[in-house]
Amino acid sequence: MDRVEKSCKNSAGVRQNRALAVWRQFRRNKGAMIGLIITAALILLAVSADFIWDYETDVIGMNIADRMISPGTKYLFGTDNYGRDMLARVGYGARYSLVIGAVSVLFGLFVGVPIGTSAGYLGGRYDTIIMRMIDAFSIVPSILLTILMVTVLGTSLLNLMIALAISTIPIFARITRASVLTVRYNEYIESAKAIGASDFYIITKYIIPNCFSPILVQATLRMGTNIISAAGLSYIGLGVALPTPEWGALLSASKQFIIQAPYLCFFPGLAIMITVMSINLVGDGLRDALDPKLKR
């Protein structure tokens, strides 16, 4: 009932109140707030990395004199086999993971949401064909699909993002369609039709706002998955290549020094873990705050 009312009074004021209520709920969730703070800090780090470190000298510049120094007071994270400060490399790497995660998800949303919305809203044959295609993609594991795409497109940062985005499209299309279907046959849609609202109007004013929560939550959680996949691809040599300090690539380089310098593979992995965990905490907090079913 609440939902019907909310979407009927579709004024900006109501929406603002809802956002405020969600934020209040979100704020109470300790884990989610920690996640949000760390995510914000990581974004800040990614944006300001160029002011903290100079890419040419600090990040990729070699310093043979200081090779393979274990973590200590001079180099907090130690140095690698070329004497590069791992703190600078790992810190600078934040921007790659965050950008890959964000861009691939945004692109996936950009294509997947319209596909899912149209399939759910129009139904019929079009829906069947779209769903069959999505089903077909589900029999190729997502990571394998991404790897194939990269193989075809060639390895580069941009192609990696495109490949991840393409593997993400079916997921967003499916979830959008499902949530469109839950609101599609509600009476307020019928009544909007009865007063002569166009399909475009109904979709943008009624359907999309009501499907917003599950898509937002899924998008957040998917970002974490894509960051891990990207690192994995770089690790096996199909993603971002060295000397770019992408975390997966750093791990890939570290594996030959597993005996002499195990710390090399510790920090990049930890960075991935913290990043993904913070984003997941935010996504989970959003889910709880947006889902009135769990509010008890």
Partner 1 sequence: MAKYITKRILMIIPIVIFVSFVVYCVMDLVPGDPARTALGDEATEEQLEIYREDHGLNEPIVVRYAHYIGGLLHGDMGKSIYNNEDVWQLYFSKLPYTLLLAVASVILTVITSIPLGILAAVKRNEWVDTGASALSFIGLAMPNFWIGLLLIILFSVHLGWLPSSGAGAGWKSLILPMITCGTGNMAALTRTTRSAMLDVLRQDYLRTARAKGLNEHLVIIRHAFKNAQIPIVTMIGTQCATLVGGALITERVFAWPGIGSYLVDSILKSDYEVVTGFVIMTAVVVSLILLLVDIIYAFMDPRIKAEYARS
CB of 56 to partner 1, least distance (A): 28
Whose Cβ is closer to partner 1: residue 117's or residue 254's? 254
CB of 80 to partner 1, least distance (A): 15
Whose Cβ is closer to partner 1: residue 20's or residue 129's? 129
Q: How many CB atoms lie within 10 A of CB 271?
A: 21
Whose Cβ is closer to partner 1: residue 19's or residue 236's? 236
**What's the sign of the alpha-carbon dihedral 51, 56, 60, 64?**
negative
How many Å separate Cα 247 from the centre of its chain?
16
Whose Cβ is closer to partner 1: residue 63's or residue 213's? 213
CB of 29 to partner 1, least distance (A): 12
Please say whether the beta carbons of 287 and 216 come within 8 A.
no
Q: What is the DSSP string of 105-120?
A: HHHHHHHHHHHHHHHH
CB of 141 to partner 1, least distance (A): 4
Whose Cβ is closer to partner 1: residue 119's or residue 207's? 119
CB of 26 to partner 1, least distance (A): 17
CB of 38 to partner 1, least distance (A): 11
Q: How many residues does the chain have?
A: 296
Angle, helix 208-235 to helix 157-184, in steps of 10 degrees: 150
Whose Cβ is closer to partner 1: residue 63's or residue 142's? 142
- Note the residues at the interface with partner 1 (CB under 8 A): 31, 132-133, 135-144, 147-148, 151-152, 154, 224, 228, 231-232, 235-238, 248, 251, 254-255, 258-259, 262, 265-266, 268-269, 272-277, 280-281, 284
Please say whether the beta carbons of 85 and 278 come within 8 A.
no
Angle, helix 86-122 to helix 157-184, in steps of 10 degrees: 40
Please say whether the beta carbons of 275 and 225 come within 8 A.
no
